[in-house]
Every structure is written in C-alpha cells, then in structure tokens.
Structure 1
Amino acid sequence: MLNPKYLKTFTTLAETGSFTKTAEQLFMTQPGVSQHVKKLEQSCECELLVRLGKGIELTEQGRQVYHYAREDETRQQQFLEQLKFDEPHQGRCTLACSGAVALRIYPGLTALQAKHPELAIHLEVAPRHRIVESLKQGVIDIGIVTNTPADDSLSADYLAEEVLHLFLPATITDFTTINTTLNQLGLVDHPDAAHYLQLYCNHSGEDSLASLEVAKLKRSGYVNQLSQILLPVSAGVGFTVLPASVEKHAGHGSNIAVYPAASTVSEPLYLVRSRHRNLPARFAGVSEVIKAAFNSAKSINGKPQWI
C-alpha cells in the first residue's frame, strides 16, 4: 500500500515543480522531501521524476502516480463530506466556467464567501470540454457550459442567452464591405474565437457573413487572457468575437466598435452537475448567487439575455 504522506509530498512536488516550494508548503526540509520521493519510488519500483537543474520532469510512471494520488484525494474528500453534518454555509464548493462567465458570477460568489467565511469557493476558468470531463470525473461539483452535454450522467438547467458581439477597431465606420474589412484586419484569435465567429456568421442574418470562410481567415495574433483580447482590437490590428459582457471589463471604451448585425447572436448557458449526486446544502446558496447574476439580464424573444 502506498504511503498517503509520501503521495501528498509527491503531488505537491509535481504541482510546484520545486523541492524548495514543496518543503515550504508542507513545512518540511528539502532532504525530507527527497526522502519521501525516494521511498515512494521504492514502493512503486520505478523512477517517478527526473531532476532538471532546479526543476523536475515527471516520468510516464510519475504522471500515472500523480493522477492516481489526485483521484484518491478527491475520493477521500467526497467521503469525508458525506460524514460531516450538512451545514448550508460551510465547506468546499468547486465550479468551473468560461472566463466571460467568471467575470459575471465571481463578485457575487466572493460576497457570499465574505458573508460566510467557512465557505471555500474554488472557481476555475476552463474550456467547455474540460468542464464536462471534470464533472464526469468528480473533480468539480458544478459547471456552466454552452449547450446541454450529450451525457445521461449529467443534468443541465437553463440559465440565459449569452449575447456575442463582433468587435472592430473604432476607426472602422464603413460596414458595407464587411467581409473585405474582416479579411484585411485579420482575426485576433483566442481559445473560443473560431467557435464564436462561426456561430456569429451563421446567425447574424447577413448573407455576406454567412459566406465568410472562417478557417481561411487571416489570423492577426493570438491571446488567451480574456482581459487582453480586446487590446489589439482597440489598437487597430484586428477584430474578434466575444461575449458582449467582456467589453465593460476590458476598459477600451471609444477605441472599439460593435458591428451592427441584422440579428442578435447569442448562445445558451446551462448550469450543469452530476445527475446522480445529491449536492450538499451549501450549493443552494451558490446556485442562487449564480442564477441571480443572470436574472438581471434583458429579455429578448422571451429568453433572458446576458449582455
């Protein structure tokens, strides 16, 4: 049987990549960390990591041991939660969503945690596919995604429609040849850019955009930090498509323009969780905060729209 203490040391080392940081986090000495790793390797009968100067790299066996340890830790956490009295304002809540949604819900979640300090809210920004996989594996408790997952093990509650905007430099004032303009500017790419742009083109109500070949479009750059994606657009070096709500957090104001599409383009958002797991009472408050963030949205065509 693998020693839990050695596994904890090893997973911390794998995540920090540093013997020094691991020793500091676990209140150990560096030789103590090395000794734990050595004993774990002896138990596993294989090498788990390679030292690279001041850093490390896990071997294939090391990666397997790391994933095993993390899964075991999750199982133990869930088991301990089941043994505790179900307090409505105490315990750990893990959730994941897109960066744009995080901007919307995190202020309310922070206020909830400030009101109930025994709550520990862990919010991760992640792409849709990783959120779904994390839910199925039990790594997170709830997630917010676009489109209902095609998996019977998950349940989804509709939240709102997320409006998408095509953002252009403010210097662009002639929209009569929008396809030519977009090809000249180039797309400021980001993890969801191709998906958003294709969705926008398909549902904008304009034939010119519907014929745009997204895959062949020039890319003028790539940014994976949500708060920075509109910066190159404001500087006039490209265009992009993002949820409308991002604009007020970006702070570029008069330097960007929104293309006036014939039809409003949006996609649905769903609150998703495991169908067969009864969430602890504390998630009632968390869900209320999330839903409240969307209840203030405007209603278009009978559906609440977050803009």
Structure 2
Amino acid sequence: MIDLKQLKAFSTLAEFGSFSRSAGVLGVAQPVLSRQIKALEQELGVELFYRNGRGTVLTEAGKVLNQYAKNLVETVDRAASEVMALKSSPRGTIVIGLPPSVGIVLTVPLVQHFREAFPLISLRVIEGFSGHVLEWLLTGKIDVAVLYNAPRTGSLRAEPLLTDELFLLGPAEGGIVPDAESVTARLLSEIPLILPARPHGLRMLVDSMLGEAGIVPRVEIEVEAMPSTLGLVENGVGYTILSYSTAHARVQAGRMRAWRIVEPGITRQLILATSSQRPTTPAMRSLVAMVRQEVRSLTEQGLWLPKGR
C-alpha cells in the first residue's frame, strides 16, 4: 500500500530530479530516499524514473502518478497545517446553554470577550431552566452547559464554578421587611412571596431547604418568568428569592433591596458541564476556560455577591 512518505519522496524527486538534492530537502539520507522510491515502484509494479548521469527523469508512468501525487501531498500538508493552527486559533461553531438567572449577568461580558479572543469561533447562546439545559447537553443540542445542581452521572464532565447564595429581594421603599442586612428564614412564612411553581428547580430547592427547618414559605403569586418576577417585586407587589446577581443592577440603582437569608441560608451549586459522550474540541476548551474566567471576574466585581458580604 502506498504511504504518504513514499508519495512525498516521489513528489520531491520529481520536482528536483536529483537524489542528493531531494534527500537534503526532505531531511533524510540519500539511501533512505532510494529505498522509498524503490518500494513505491515495487508496489506499483512499474518504473517511475529513468536514471541517467545528470539525475532522474520521469517515465510515462511517473508522469501520470505525478499529476496526482503533488495535489495529494499539498492537500495533506495543508490539512495538517490547519489542524495544528487550531491550537493557537481555534475555529468552528460552539453552543452554550445557561439559565436566565445566570445569563442576565454572564452573557454580555462572555460574548464580548469571547469574540475578541476567538474571532474564528461562532458562538451561540441559548437560555433555559437548568433541567432543560441539562437535557440539551445530553442530547447534543448544546456543547457547553452552565446550570445549577447537576446530577452525578458518567455522562457528564462537571466542575463547580461557585456556591450561589440566594437572597430575599424586595422593593426599595414601602416594604414590610426590617431595615437590616439579613433576615431569618422564618420571615419567609410571613411575607408575600413571588416564586415559580413546582417542579421548577428554584421552587423545589426553596421548599426543600425551608421544609427541613419546618418553614412553609408564603407563596402568593407563582410566576415562571424571571424578568416579570423582578418587575413585580420592584413595583412592590411582593418579594422573591433569587441570586443577588439577578438584581444587582436594580439594587445598585436604588430600585430594589437585597437581604441575606440566615437560619438557614439557601444555597445551590453553579456547575460548568460538557458531555463525556462527545469529544472535546479546541473550541469547547476555549469556551470552558472563558466561562471560568468570566465567573471569577464577575465575582471579584461584586456582581454575584454584594461586596463586603
């Protein structure tokens, strides 16, 4: 069977017409080059070169092979160069899925900085509840997932990004919550709450953690959409329980307030995951590294937790 080394040796000798010069170009000893050409001629059953005092000349069979060999060698070399270039300049299309509560703070800086660092990669962002994001990852709809409390399974490569603490969020003025930095979880059974309905992951988490403390949250309105929930809270309709990051801009602008919940606190793990059933591409590795970097930066800026807490 013809191999690439034989074709490269043949193509080089056809170009330069000299064993000594061709061996120098290929970086091999002249006897090695001679053996490669001889092996190729034996494989094909024909002579490819006439040898004379001035060097070599292609036979008719050699001329036919040379029409194909040069293109094949150039194609393989070009493919190898492009593959190796991916190490420093990855390219392709990559899809990331994340919950709206994460996207509200992460999507803009992630997309901006990722495009600057990796202009050859086309990035697509999809938002959905953590359960949907997990399903998309396992079915191959997305390549990288950021989600809460991912299950332990051999189908995932998962790593913790941070422990996300949930806060009580309420209107900036006219509320009924004490003027303090924190409130006890017991208060959540006394104030009107706006939360998603079960089996939403946030509602299941709040009910579970409060239930272990013997507390039943006073949920008066059930809303699945986070922007609508925040709008209702800002207008004084009720309170909600979410990550501080979801309301950071409103809190900083004096439109809402945030209280730490204690006795007990409510936390969840933010996870970065890829599927173990699919190969990890350079584009995926680039995106995963960028997500880690952005989450760390946002945390240092006080967007995930209030500074000083």
TM-score in same-fold range (> 0.5): yes
Match of residue 276 from structure 2: 275
- Larger Cα Rg: Structure 1 or Structure 2? 2
SS of alignment partner, residue 89 of structure 1: coil
Moved more, 168-177 or 106-115: 168-177
**Root mean square deviation, CA, Å:** 3.1
Match of residue 196 from structure 2: 189
2: distance between equivalents of 1:157 and 1:179? 32
Shift of 1:252: 7.7
2: distance between equivalents of 1:91 and 1:227? 33
Shift of 1:284: 2.2
Match of residue 41 from structure 1: none
1: distance between equivalents of 2:160 and 2:105? 16
Query: Among residues 117, 139, 142, which one is paired with 2:141 in the alignment?
Result: 139
Query: Among residues 142, 150, 153, which one is paired with 1:151 in the alignment?
Result: 153
2:195–2:203: 8 Å Cα contact kept in structure 1? no
Change (3 A) 1:114 1:228: farther
SS of alignment partner, residue 271 of structure 1: strand
2: distance between equivalents of 1:228 and 1:143? 24
1: distance between equivalents of 2:165 and 2:189? 24
1:164–1:196: 8 Å Cα contact kept in structure 2? no
2: distance between equivalents of 1:296 and 1:115? 16
Shift of 1:228: 3.7
Match of residue 100 from structure 1: 101
Match of residue 121 from structure 1: 123
Amino acid at match of 1:158: P
Amino acid at match of 2:249: H
User: What is the TM-score normalised by the length of structure 1?
Assistant: 0.58
Output one character per residue of 1:74-120: Cα deviation in whole Å (capped at 9) or x when no partner. xxxxxxxxxx8473431101111111222333212332214433211
Match of residue 230 from structure 1: 230
Output one character per residue of 1:227-261: Cα deviation in whole Å (capped at 9) or x when no partner. 34222112111111111111123468434332343
2:166–2:244: 8 Å Cα contact kept in structure 1? yes
1: distance between equivalents of 2:256 and 2:208? 21
Query: Among residues 179, 184, 187, which one is paired with 1:178 in the alignment?
Result: 187
Amino acid at match of 1:187: I
Change (3 A) 1:295 1:251: closer
SS of alignment partner, residue 139 of structure 1: coil
Match of residue 32 from structure 1: none
User: What is the TM-score normalised by the length of structure 2?
Assistant: 0.58
1:105–1:289: 8 Å Cα contact kept in structure 2? no
SS of alignment partner, residue 259 of structure 1: strand
1: distance between equivalents of 2:98 and 2:231? 23
Shift of 1:211: 2.7
Match of residue 112 from structure 2: 110
Change (3 A) 1:288 1:104: farther
SS of alignment partner, residue 261 of structure 2: coil
Shift of 1:197: 2.8
2:99–2:129: 8 Å Cα contact kept in structure 1? yes
Amino acid at match of 1:123: V
SS of alignment partner, residue 92 of structure 1: strand
1:230–1:252: 8 Å Cα contact kept in structure 2? no
Q: What are the residue-to-residue correspondences of 1:74-89 with 2, within 5 Å?
A: 85=83, 87=86, 88-89=89-90
